[in-house]
Structure 1
Amino acid sequence: MLGVALVATLIAGAAQWSGRLEGTEHIAYDEALIRYTGDRKASGQVVVVAIDQQSIDAISQDAQLQVNFGNWPYTRTLWARVAQELKAAGARAVLFDAVMDERASDESADLGFAQVLRETGLPFYVGMVSSGSAKPLARADFQSPVPLATPESAPPPPSDTFPEEFEDAPAPATPVLEAGALARALAFPASRTDGKPLQSLQGTSRVPRYPVPPTPALVGAVSGFGLVDTEADGDGSMRRTHFAFTDGINTYVTLPVRMMADLLGAKEVTLSGRTLRMGERTWHVDADGSAALDYGGPLETRFRQVPLIAVLDDWIRRGHGKSPGLDPGLFRGKVVVIGGTAVGLNDIKATPFSSTQPGLVKQATVVDTLLSGAFITDAPAGVDLGLTFLVALVSAVLLMTARWTPLEVVWPVALVAGLFVLTGLLLKTSHTHVRMAMPALAGVGASVAALAFNHLVANRETQFIRQAFHRFMEPKLVEQMIRSRQLPRLDGENKEITAFFSDIRGFSTFSERFKEDPRQLVRILNTYLTTVSGALLREGGCLDKYIGDAVVCLFGAPMAQEDHAVRACRGALAAKAAVEALRQDFRAKGFPDVYTRIGVNSAVNFVGNFGSDQLFSYTAIGDGMNLAARLEGANKAYGSVIMIGPRTYELAREHIEVRELDRVRVAGKTEAVTVYELLALKGQLDASTRHTVARYHEALGLYREARFAEAAAVLEAEAARSPEDGPTGKLLERCREYLESPPENFDGVANLEK
Structure 2
Amino acid sequence: MTGETWKLLQERWRHHGRVMLGIALVATLAAWACERGLEGTEHVAYDEALVRFTGGREKSQQVVVVAIDQSTLDEISQDAQLQLNFGNWPYTRTLWARVAQELKAAGARAVLFDAVMDERTADASADLGFAQVLRETGLPFYVGMVSSASAKPLARADFQASVPLMAPESAPAASPPGDESFPEAFEDAPAPATPVLTREALARALAFPASQTRGALPALPRGHHPVPPTPALVGAVSGFGLVDTEADGDGSMRRTSFAYTDGINPYVTLPVRMVADLLGAKEVTLSGRTLRLGERTWSVDADGSAALDYGGSLPERFEMVTLFAVLNDWIHRSRGEAPELPAALFRDKVVVIGGTAVGLNDIKATPFSATQPGLVKQATVVDTLLAGTFITRAPLAVDLGLTFLVALVSAVLLMTARWTPLEVAWPVALVLGLHVLTGLLLKSAHTHVRMAMPALAGVGASVAALAFNHLVANRETQFIRQAFHRFMEPKLVEQMIRSRQLPRLDGENKEITAFFSDIRGFSTFSERFKEDPRQLVRILNTYLTAVSGALLREGGCLDKYIGDAVVCLFGAPMAQQDHAVRACRGALAAKAAVDALRVDFREKGFPDVYTRIGVNSAVNFVGNFGSDQLFSYTAIGDGMNLAARLEGANKAYGSVIMIGPRTYELAKEHIEVRELDRVRVAGKTEAVTVYELLALKGQWDASTRHTVARYHEALGLYREARFAEAAAVLEAEAARSPEDGPTAKLLERCREYLASPPEKFDGVANLEK
Normalising TM by the smaller chain, what interval?
A: 0.7 to 0.9
Counterpart selection for 1:147 from 157, 160, 165:
165
Distance 1:171 1:701 in 2: 127
Identity %: 82
* Aligned residue number for residue 120 of structure 1: 137
* Residue of structure 2 aligned with 1:216, choices 223, 226, 231: 231
| Residue matched to 1:8 | 27
Corresponding position of 1:200: 217
Deviation at 1:197, TM superposition (A): 7.9
Any idea what the Cα deviations from partners look like across 1:586-620, whole Å, max 9, x if unmatched? 55666654322101123343322233443222112
Residues 87 and 744 (structure 1), Cα distance of their counterparts in 2 relative to 1, 3 Å cut: closer
Match of 1:98 among 104, 107, 115: 115
**Structure 2 CA distance, aligned partners of 1:684 and 1:240?**
82
Distance 1:412 1:134 in 2: 55
Deviations 1:315-356 (A, max 9, x none): 334333344454554433332212223444443333223344
Q: How many angstroms does 1:215 deviate by?
A: 2.9
Amino acid at match of 2:27: A
Name structure 2 gaps, 5 residues minimum: 1-19
SS at match of 1:21: helix
Q: Deviations over 1:264-284 (max 9, x none)?
A: 333334456554444554444
Where do residues 499-514 of structure 1 align in structure 2 (5 Å cutoff)?
Answer: 499-510=514-525
1:385 to 386, 400, 403: 400
What does the per-residue CA deviation read over 1:599-651, in whole Å, with 9 as the maximum and x for residues that have no partner?
Answer: 11233433222334432221123343233222212212221111223443455
Instruction: Verify the 8 A CA contact 2:167 2:190 in the aligned structure 1.
Output: no
| 3-state SS of paired residue (1:616) | coil
Cross-structure match for 1:554: 569
Matches within 5 A, 1:7-406: 7-16=26-35, 19-40=36-57, 42-60=59-77, 64-131=81-148, 133-141=151-159, 144=162, 147-149=165-167, 151=169, 154=173, 163-165=180-182, 174-177=191-194, 179=196, 182-183=199-200, 186-189=203-206, 199-202=216-219, 207=222, 210-246=225-261, 251-271=266-286, 274-279=289-294, 281-406=296-421
Within-5 A mapping of 1:705-724: 708-724=723-739
Which one of 643, 653, 656 corresponds to residue 658 of structure 2? Answer: 643
Asked whether the equivalents of residues 655 and 742 of structure 2 are also in contact (C-alpha less than 8 Å), the reply is yes
- In the alignment, the residues of structure 2 paired with residue 315 and residue 675 of structure 1 have an alpha-carbon distance, to the nearest angstrom, of 104
| Deviation at residue 750 of structure 1 after TM alignment | 4.7
Question: Retained in 1: the 8 A contact 2:202–2:267?
Answer: no
- Number of the residue aligned with 1:594: 609
Match of 2:435?
A: 420
Question: How many pairs are equivalent?
Answer: 748
Question: 294-303 or 25-34: which moved more?
Answer: 294-303
Q: How far did residue 21 of structure 1 move? A: 1.0
Distance in 1, Cα, partners of 2:656 & 2:446:
75
Say whether the 8 Å CA contact 2:165–2:197 is kept in structure 1.
no
Structure 2 residue corresponding to 1:442, chosen from 454, 457, 460: 457
**Secondary structure in 2 matching 1:217:** helix
Contact 2:165 2:200 in 1 (8 A): no
Shift of 1:221: 1.7
| Post-superposition CA distance 1:214-252 (Å, at most 9, x none) | 333322221222221222212222100122345566544
Q: RMSD value over aligned CA atoms? A: 3.7
Tell whether the 8 Å contact from 2:512 to 2:620 is kept in structure 1 after alignment. Answer: yes
Supply the distance in 1 between the matched residues of 2:169 and 2:554 (Cα, whole angstroms).
108
Question: For the residues of structure 1 that align with 2:720 and 2:185, how far apart are their CA atoms?
Answer: 137
Matched, 1:565 2:583: no
Task: Indicate yes or no: 2:747 matched with 1:732.
Answer: yes
Distance in 2, matches of 1:538 and 1:157, equals 113
Q: Amino acid of the residue matched to residue 165 of structure 2?
A: P
The more displaced of 275-284 and 115-124 is 275-284
**Distance change >3 Å, CA 145–CA 679, structure 1 → 2:** farther
Aligned equivalents of 2:460 and 2:765: distance in 1? 65
Tell me how far 1:427 sits from its aligned partner.
Answer: 3.2
| Residues 7-66 of structure 1: CA deviation (Å, up to 9, x unaligned) | 2222223322xx121111012212333344444455454333333444445545655545
d(CA) in 2 for partners of 1:108, 1:284: 45
Give the match's secondary structure for 1:489.
coil
Check conservation: 1:190, 1:244, Cα contact below 8 A: no
Question: In the alignment, which residue of structure 2 is the partner of 1:477?
Answer: 492
Q: In 1, distance between residues paired with 2:583 and 2:535?
A: 31
Contact 1:499 1:568 in 2 (8 A): yes
Partners of 1:386 and 1:686 in 2: CA distance: 73
Cα deviation 1:506-565 (Å, max 9, x = unaligned): 345555666787776655544443432233234332111223332210122212334433
Give the Cα separation in 2 of the matches to 1:229 and 1:310. Answer: 28
Please give the residue correspondences for 1:692-711 in structure 2 after superposition, counting only pairs within 5 Å. Answer: 692-700=707-715, 703=718, 708-711=723-726
Task: Output the CA distance in 1 between the equivalents of 2:748 and 2:666.
Answer: 32
SS in 1 for 2:486: coil
CA distance in 1, matches of 2:212, 2:652: 92
Query: What secondary structure sits across from 1:407 in the alignment?
Result: helix
- AA paired with 2:103? L
Structure 1 residues 639 and 396, CA gap change in structure 2 (3 angstroms): same
Gaps of 5+ in 1: none
Q: CA deviation at 1:712?
A: 3.3
Which whole-Å CA distance do the structure 2 matches of 1:604 and 1:145 have between them? 92
| Contact kept? 1:150, 1:175, Cα under 8 Å | no
Give 2:551's aligned residue.
Answer: 536
What is the aligned partner in structure 2 of residue 608 from structure 1?
Answer: 623
8 A contact 2:54–2:442 mirrored in 1 = yes
C-alpha separation in 1, matches of 2:748 and 2:343: 116
Query: CA distance change for structure 1 residues 138 and 252 in 2, over 3 Å: closer, same or farther?
Result: same
User: Deviation digits for residues 174-207 of structure 1, max 9, x if unmatched?
Assistant: 434473774256435466899998852425x5x3
Q: Is contact 1:240-1:292 (8 Å) kept?
A: yes
Of 457, 461, 482, 1:467 maps to 482
Of 602, 625, 631 in structure 1, the residue corresponding to residue 646 of structure 2 is 631
Please list the CA deviations of residues 386-419 of structure 1 after superposition, one character each: whole Å capped at 9, or x if unmatched: 4323332332233333333343333323332333
Structure 1 equivalent of residue 3 of structure 2 = none
Counterparts of 2:83 and 2:642, CA distance in 1 = 110
Q: Structure 2 length as normaliser, TM-score? A: 0.86
In the superposition, relative to structure 1, how do residues 180 and 139 fare at CA in structure 2: closer, same or farther (>3 Å)?
farther
Deviation for aligned residue 1:293: 1.3
CA 1:173–1:334 in structure 2 vs 1: closer, same or farther (change >3 Å)? Answer: closer
